[in-house]
Amino acid sequence: MLKVDNLSVYYGGIHALKGVSIAVEEGQIVSIIGSNGAGKSTLLNTISGMVKRKGGSILYKGKEIPKLPYHIVKIGICQVPEGRLIFANLTVKENLMMGAYLRRDKEQIAKDLEKVYELFPRLLERLTQMAGTLSGGEEQMLAMGRGLMSNPDLILLDEPSLGLAPLLVKTIFEIIEDIKKLNKTILLVEQNAYKALSVADFGYVLEQGKVTKAGNAKELIQDKSILEAYLGKKEIQINL
């Protein structure tokens, strides 16, 4: 579904992505793990058209993606950004409808709203509430629901567990697996290496702008170098 080949991105004089190549098969969850500053969010922002690339290609369903972000949304790619970036001064429902801004299929929009309510029943309870008054976990649910309202085939999910309590992190990752069951493909960027790989089909390790490892997620999760780099012993014992 998605093929990124030899992608190069600069921020001023900083070479943020150095020949990055990844592939995402339809129906998969593909996770990208790495430390802060590795280039994970830059990769997603480049795919979604928010950051310009210096070189390389990005193919979606065999065709080069458009340059403008709203055209990228139109072809079936949406990004759920790091930090949620909800519209605090709009209600929960108004935020969800912003996700469908480019759509004109009113009947399907209504059906998709119902699906979002099924995935996130807490949002249904808070439809008329101002989004700025939600908890961090509820904001993340709203950001994911808003993304789904664009009716994407491919979802770019950036740090969904950031700043959330462990119990909410568990809930969010269960919902990610439920979203996959809706025939969605997910490219997930996440600092929680164990959680990211435990839900994924395939994984990549990004270090200093380069892909240093790639493989089946269940195999990567047993890789000693990955465990040592991204998981402390205490966390390994808790999760395994």
The model's pLDDT over 199-228, given as tens digits with 9 standing for 90+, comes to: 999 999 999 999 999 999 999 988 888 888
Q: Which residues pair with 9 in a beta bridge?
A: 17
Instruction: Quickly tell me which residue has 């790619």 as its tokens.
Output: 77
Contact 140, 84 (CB under 8 A): yes
Tokens 């997603």, located at residue: 44
More confident residue, 84 or 63: 63
Mean pLDDT of all residues in 72-88: 93
Q: Which helix (H) or strand (E) holds 14?
A: strand 14-24
Write the CB contacts of 95 (distance below 8 Å, at least 6 apart in sequence).
Answer: 86, 87, 131, 142, 146
pLDDT (average), residues 151-161: 96
Per-residue pLDDT, averaged over 12-41, amounts to 95
Interacting residues of 206 by C-beta distance below 8 A, sequence separation 6+:
20, 32, 33, 34, 38, 39, 40, 43, 212
Q: Kindly state the tokens that stand for 51.
A: 């950051």
Give the list of residues 6+ apart from residue 201 with CB closer than 8 angstroms, or none. 25, 28, 29, 30, 216, 217
| Under 8 Å between Cβ of 33 and 198 | no
Integer Cα distance of 195 and 213 in angstroms: 17
Q: Output the pLDDT for position 235.
A: 44
Mean confidence (pLDDT) of the chain: 92
Amino acid identity of residue 219, one-letter, is: E
- Give pLDDT, residue 11: 87
Mean pLDDT of 164-168: 90
Q: pLDDT digits over 94-113, tens only?
A: 999 999 998 999 999 999 99
At 234 the pLDDT is 39
| 140 has pLDDT over 80 | yes
